[in-house]
């Protein structure tokens, strides 16, 4: 029986606060292999843009990436990627940092300008699943930045949730995969201000009801839509959880929201 690959996406405020990120990475390093880490960093890019006097433009919660902003995300995400790898090495976790261009890991095309022109933003076309599995077979943990390329020399800014889902779907063609989205909440909450209102399981039908009732709103909607698309493509499990819960993955102590098709 093949080992299950566990993919973890980390983002939100955890990325911005070194002590929180360090805690997460220590716990992640202690998990058994094979595993993959995908990280975001959008807020850090926004902060850097402000320092450099570059305007940040957002449409429906998504970043518009012109040439100036692309330079910033390349700098911020690339630097963050190497910091994460260095911290994992300090925890005796053999890791390698990758953008989509490295190992031809993720090839994408520039998103069409209609109905909204997001600029140099990529929609993923293919993932080098065999190459990533080859690294993991050598005991190496891929750490993936939210950057892709178009195969013609152009780098593209790409949503980290989409990268996590695309990587999960690609690897699921080779062996069992579970996907975990980690951030500062315990999971999907009925009331975002009540930490005791965790919804432990959501089916596709329940997701539609939660949207209609206004319980699942804003940025959580595309996150869950991507998650259900991933399940539909053969990924065995998708969970949304608190970053401190990583140690409980695969045990009875796991706490979070598990998504299932029905």
Model pLDDT for residues 16-46, shown as the tens digit of each residue:
899 999 999 999 999 999 999 999 998 899 9
The predicted structure's pLDDT at residue 195:
83
pLDDT band at 59 (very low <50, low <70, confident <90, very high): confident
Task: Give the model's pLDDT for residue 147.
Answer: 98
Section 253-259 average pLDDT: 88
Q: How far apart are CA 6 and CA 112, in angstroms?
A: 32
Share of the chain above pLDDT 70, in %: 100
The pLDDT mean for the chain works out to: 92
Q: What is the pLDDT of residues 101-134, one digit of tens each?
A: 999 999 999 999 999 999 999 999 999 999 999 9
pLDDT of 76 reads 96
Hey, which residues does 106 pair with through a beta bridge?
127
Task: Supply the pLDDT for residue 1.
Answer: 52
pLDDT value of residue 182: 93
pLDDT at residue 216, rounded to an integer: 85
All domains in the chain, ordered by first residue: 5-260 (3.40.1160.10)
Provide the CB-side half-sphere exposure for 110 (13 A, CA). 16
Confidence (pLDDT) at 11: 87
Tens digit of each residue's pLDDT (9 = 90 or more) over 181-233? 998 888 999 888 888 899 999 998 999 999 888 888 877 888 788 889 899 99
């Amino acid at each position: 029986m093949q080992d299950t690959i566990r993919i973890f996406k980390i983002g939100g405020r955890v990325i911005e606060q070194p002590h929180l990120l360090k805690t997460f990475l220590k716990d992640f390093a202690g998990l058994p292999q094979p595993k993959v880490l995908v990280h975001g960093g959008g807020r850090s890019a926004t902060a850097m843009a402000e320092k450099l006097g570059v305007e940040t433009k957002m449409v429906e919660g998504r970043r518009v990436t012109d040439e100036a902003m692309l330079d910033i995300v390349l700098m911020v995400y690339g630097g963050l990627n190497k910091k994460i790898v260095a911290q994992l090495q300090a925890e005796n976790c053999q890791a390698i940092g990758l953008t989509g261009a490295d190992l031809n890991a993720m090839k994408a095309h520039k998103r069409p300008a209609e109905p909204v022109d997001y600029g140099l933003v990529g929609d993923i076309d293919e993932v080098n699943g065999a190459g990533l599995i080859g690294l993991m077979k050598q005991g190496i943990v891929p750490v993936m930045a939210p950057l892709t390329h178009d195969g013609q020399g152009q780098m593209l800014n790409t949503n980290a949730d989409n990268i996590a889902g695309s990587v999960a779907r690609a690897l699921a063609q080779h062996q069992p995969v579970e996907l975990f989205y980690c951030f500062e909440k315990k999971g999907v909450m009925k009331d975002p201000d009540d930490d005791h209102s965790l919804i432990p399981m959501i089916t596709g039908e329940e997701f539609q009801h939660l949207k209609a009732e206004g319980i699942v709103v804003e940025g959580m909607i595309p996150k869950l839509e991507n998650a259900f698309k991933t399940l539909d493509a053969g990924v065995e499990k998708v969970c949304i959880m608190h970053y401190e819960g990583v140690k409980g993955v695969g045990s009875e102590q796991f706490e979070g929201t598990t998504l299932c098709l029905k």
